[in-house]
Amino acid sequence: MGVDVCWDPAAAQPPARRAAFRSMTAVTAGDKAAWLELFAGDAVVEDPIGPSMFDEEGKGHHGHDGISAFWDKTIANVERFQFTIRDSHAAGDEVANVGTITTYLPGGYRVDTDGVFVYRVREDGLIVSMRAFWETERAMATARQEG
C-alpha cells in the first residue's frame, strides 16, 4: 500500500509538507538511504516524544548516526507501513500532520498508531526536526493478529 494523504503531493505545497510526504514515501518503500538523505546532519527525531521503548532517556535521536540507529531499531522491524493523514496544518517552516500509522509486524500482527506528526525544515528543505506525538499504551491496545 502507498501513502494515503489528504493533499495533492503534485500540487505546490509548503516545504515542510513536501518533506513529510517524502519521509512517509521512503518509509513505506523501506528505503533507509533515501529517508536519511531527507534529514539535516544535526536533525533530531523524537518518535514518540519523551521516554519510550525506543528512547529510554526521551532525548531524541540526534544526527544521521542516531537517526540511522532509530531506523534499525524501529522501522526495519516492520514488514509494511500505511500512513493515513486525515489533516495537515502547515505554518512557517513546519507542518503538523494528524493521522494514523498502521504497522504490519512479523507474525501477522497489526498496530494502528494515532498521532500528530510534526516536521520542521530549514531553507533548503532538509528536515531538522521530526516530533511524533502518540501514546504507546493507546497504540498497543490496537494490536491484533490478522489472517
Where in the chain are the domains?
A: 3-145
What is the 3-state composition of the chain as percent helix, strand, coil, each rounded to the nearest 5? 25, 40, 30
CATH topology of domain 3-145: Nuclear Transport Factor 2; Chain: A, (3.10.450)
**pLDDT tens for each residue of 88-115:** 999 999 999 999 999 999 999 999 999 9
Per-residue pLDDT of the chain (147 residues; tens, 9 = 90+): 344 444 565 678 999 999 999 999 999 999 999 999 999 999 999 999 999 999 999 999 999 999 999 999 999 999 999 999 999 999 999 999 999 999 999 999 999 999 999 999 999 999 999 999 999 999 999 999 987
**pLDDT in the model for residue 73:** 96
Beta strands in the chain (DSSP E): 3-4, 39-46, 61-62, 80-91, 94-105, 109-121, 127-133, 144-145
For the entire predicted model, the pTM comes to 0.91
* Nearest one of 140, 89, 88 to 113, comparing CA atoms: 140
**pLDDT in the model for residue 70:** 98
